[in-house]
């Protein structure tokens, strides 16, 4: 495993950290924001410019009033209670209700008691799933964890720290910005313990269709691995709601008598989602894991040791938010407005396209690092070079090298001005 090629800052190792964890930690690349800080350390924006952060995907829309109301009405005594690992019944019922509404699932397809767990955002749960899914050996060899490339950094860290080999699946313009599932060799699939997929994808905003999701689930069942679907951008979409993993599992269930899918329900599938993007509530740290009851049972056991859980008032507020769709519709309207503004400023340049989902622009600017430095120095706009979340090939080439990621998280006017500035600075 060669993961050090992209590391910029020497990794400190400690003699008091176990040798195997030390080795795995030092094999990791620096986190993208650490690398960004190093890239921009010697660049100072012009003095009259107020810096604007377009680098981090933290929604700046005001969270819905419902959130404050729900938190305020929680009994004070609930702050004094340890939350149960499996969450409260109203929390799980709200997730179940939303899944049924959003994906047209029959009640019980996702088991409300045995198929849903609260998470403190998807991030920690996406990390832990690698610990859950990685055996010592798979097919007699080191297990592989399949990761789209580019990718959310947590997937790589989770895979490597769980003792698996992170194996990257190219998701380039040529592959429609999603991994080509037909290109995965049977020999690799045989030792795969876990596949991460993200739809809508970060950073490209590509949406997997139902056929694609069905294929991924079919592979997971044929080769006995866990499919972790990161759907945390599922509610931020442009023209049509992205299909979800459970919709695909249900379709397989209906079609699948001859293909071994009948009676499989949500087998091999775990879906991850949160309120961070849907309700602009990243600070609430509230998400969920849902799917295969056998995996959820094992996850519950793992989390009963590893997790502190969500405060009861936070779970009550989360339930209120999952039960409400009106604020999400308004959220989508704002993101669409911003994509319109971005399109007006950037169409025809840098390979601009309207992302089908999510709120990032993935712009092909020639040299992502150079563009990032210019945008920061000349205009105070902080963006992320695409190479910082794209693994390099063994020959040193990097499919993200020519890209920057721009997060459209601010208000429409600010985003419009920022996009006009990008066009002016980069020409």
Ligand X SMILES: Cc1ncc(COP(=O)(O)O)c(C=O)c1O
Please select the residue that binds ligand X; options are 274, 310, 372, 421, rule is CB under 6 A: 274
CB of 285 to ligand X, least distance (A): 7
d(CA 407, CA 421) in angstroms, rounded, equals 14
Decide whether 94 or 426 has the Cβ nearer to ligand X: 94
In the region spanning residues 285 to 314, those forming contacts with ligand X, defined by CB under 6 A, are 287
Asked if 121 is part of the footprint of ligand X (rule: CB under 6 A), the reply reads yes
Q: Residue ranges of the alpha helices (H) in 178-266? A: 186-190, 210-223, 245-255
CB of 92 to ligand X, least distance (A): 18
Q: What are phi and psi of 166, to 5 degrees?
A: -70, 125
Q: Segment contacting ligand X (CB under 6 A): 115-123, 187-195, 258-266, 415-423? A: 115-123
279 Cα distance to chain centroid: 15
Asked if 279 is part of the footprint of ligand X (rule: CB under 6 A), the reply reads no
CB of 199 to ligand X, least distance (A): 10
| Pairing between β-strand 192-198 and β-strand 144-149 as defined by DSSP bridges | parallel
Torsion, CA 112, CA 113, CA 116, CA 119, rounded to 10: 130
Asked if 128 is part of the footprint of ligand X (rule: CB under 6 A), the reply reads no
In the region spanning residues 130 to 159, those forming contacts with ligand X, defined by CB under 6 A, are 152
Asked if 278 is part of the footprint of ligand X (rule: CB under 6 A), the reply reads no
Decide whether 30 or 230 has the Cβ nearer to ligand X: 230
CB of 102 to ligand X, least distance (A): 17
In the region spanning residues 46 to 65, those forming contacts with ligand X, defined by CB under 6 A, are 57
Judged by CB under 6 A, the number of residues near ligand X is 14
d(CA 122, CA 378) in angstroms, rounded, equals 35
Asked if 322 is part of the footprint of ligand X (rule: CB under 6 A), the reply reads no
For residue 60, what are its two tokens?
């700046």
Closest by CA to 379, choosing from 55, 44, 57, is 44
Q: Segment contacting ligand X (CB under 6 A): 76-84, 263-271, 274-282, 346-354? A: 274-282
Q: What are phi and psi of 148, to 5 degrees?
A: -65, 150
CB of 157 to ligand X, least distance (A): 12
For residue 386, what are its two tokens?
């695409």
Question: Using an 8 Å Cβ cutoff, are 178 and 170 in contact?
Answer: no
In the region spanning residues 201 to 260, those forming contacts with ligand X, defined by CB under 6 A, are 202, 230, 232
Please select the residue that binds ligand X; options are 3, 54, 178, 198, rule is CB under 6 A: 198
Asked if 199 is part of the footprint of ligand X (rule: CB under 6 A), the reply reads no
CB of 274 to ligand X, least distance (A): 3
Q: Residue ranges of the alpha helices (H) in 134-192? A: 153-161, 186-190
Decide whether 221 or 285 has the Cβ nearer to ligand X: 285
Please select the residue that binds ligand X; options are 276, 280, 315, 390, rule is CB under 6 A: 276
Question: Using an 8 Å Cβ cutoff, are 270 and 119 in contact?
Answer: no
CB of 14 to ligand X, least distance (A): 27
Extract the runs of DSSP E, i.e. beta strands, from 265-359: 269-274, 287-291
Q: Segment contacting ligand X (CB under 6 A): 7-15, 100-108, 122-130, 205-213? A: 122-130
d(CA 204, CA 354) in angstroms, rounded, equals 10
Asked if 282 is part of the footprint of ligand X (rule: CB under 6 A), the reply reads yes
CB of 162 to ligand X, least distance (A): 17
> What is residue 363's three-state secondary structure?
strand
d(CA 281, CA 286) in angstroms, rounded, equals 8
Q: Segment contacting ligand X (CB under 6 A): 117-125, 160-168, 310-318, 380-388? A: 117-125
Closest by CA to 125, choosing from 297, 290, 345, 361, is 290
Q: HSE of 86 in the Cβ direction (CA atoms, 13 Å)?
A: 14
Q: Segment contacting ligand X (CB under 6 A): 97-105, 116-124, 210-218, 251-259? A: 116-124
Q: Segment contacting ligand X (CB under 6 A): 41-49, 80-88, 120-128, 296-304? A: 120-128
The neighbour count for residue 12, using CB atoms within 10 Å, is: 9
Closest by CA to 343, choosing from 389, 259, 296, 412, is 412
For residue 370, give every residue at least 6 positions away whose Cβ sits within 8 Å of its Cβ, in sequence order, or none: none
Closest by CA to 228, choosing from 162, 305, 176, 311, is 162
Decide whether 123 or 221 has the Cβ nearer to ligand X: 123
CB of 228 to ligand X, least distance (A): 10
What is the binding site for ligand X (CB under 6 A)? 57, 121-123, 126, 152, 198, 202, 230, 232, 274, 276, 282, 287
């Amino acid at each position: 495993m060669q993961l050090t090629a992209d590391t910029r800052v020497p990794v400190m190792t400690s003699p008091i950290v176990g040798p195997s964890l030390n080795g795995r930690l030092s094999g990791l690349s620096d986190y993208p924001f650490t690398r960004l800080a190093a890239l921009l350390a010697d660049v100072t924006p012009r003095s009259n410019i107020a810096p604007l952060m377009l680098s981090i995907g933290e929604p700046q829309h005001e969270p819905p009033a419902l959130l404050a109301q729900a938190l305020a009405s929680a009994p004070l005594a609930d702050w004094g209670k340890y939350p149960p690992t499996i969450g409260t019944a109203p929390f799980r019922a709200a997730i179940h209700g939303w899944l049924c509404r959003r994906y047209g699932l029959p009640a019980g397809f996702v088991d409300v008691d045995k198929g849903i767990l609260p998470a403190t955002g998807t991030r920690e749960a996406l990390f832990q799933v690698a610990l859950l899914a990685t055996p010592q050996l798979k097919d007699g060899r080191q297990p592989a964890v399949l990761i789209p490339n580019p990718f959310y950094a947590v997937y790589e860290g989770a895979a490597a720290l769980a003792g698996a080999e992170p194996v990257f699946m190219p998701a380039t313009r040529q592959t429609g910005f999603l991994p080509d599932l037909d290109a995965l060799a049977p020999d690799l699939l045989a030792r795969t313990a876990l596949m991460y997929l993200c739809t809508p994808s970060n950073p490209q905003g590509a949406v997997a269709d139902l056929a694609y999701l069905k294929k991924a689930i079919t592979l997971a069942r044929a080769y006995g691995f866990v499919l972790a679907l990161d759907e945390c951008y599922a509610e931020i979409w442009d023209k049509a709601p992205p299909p979800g993993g459970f919709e695909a599992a249900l379709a397989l269930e209906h079609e699948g008598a001859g293909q071994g899918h009948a009676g499989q329900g949500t087998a091999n599938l775990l879906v991850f989602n949160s309120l961070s993007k849907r309700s602009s509530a990243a600070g609430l740290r509230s998400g969920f894991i849902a799917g295969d009851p056998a995996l959820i049972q094992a996850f519950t056991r793992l989390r009963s040791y590893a997790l502190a859980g969500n405060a009861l008032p936070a779970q009550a507020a989360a339930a209120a938010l999952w039960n409400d769709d009106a604020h999400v519709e308004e959220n989508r309207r704002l993101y669409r407005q911003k994509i319109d503004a971005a399109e007006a400023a950037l169409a025809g340049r840098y390979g601009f396209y309207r992302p089908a989902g999510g709120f990032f622009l993935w712009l092909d600017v020639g040299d992502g690092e150079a563009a990032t430095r210019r945008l920061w120095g000349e205009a105070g706009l902080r963006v992320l070079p695409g190479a910082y979340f794209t693994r390099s090939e063994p020959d040193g080439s990097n499919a993200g090298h020519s890209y920057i990621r721009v997060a459209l998280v601010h208000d429409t006017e600010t985003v419009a001005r920022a996009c006009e500035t990008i066009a002016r600075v980069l020409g």
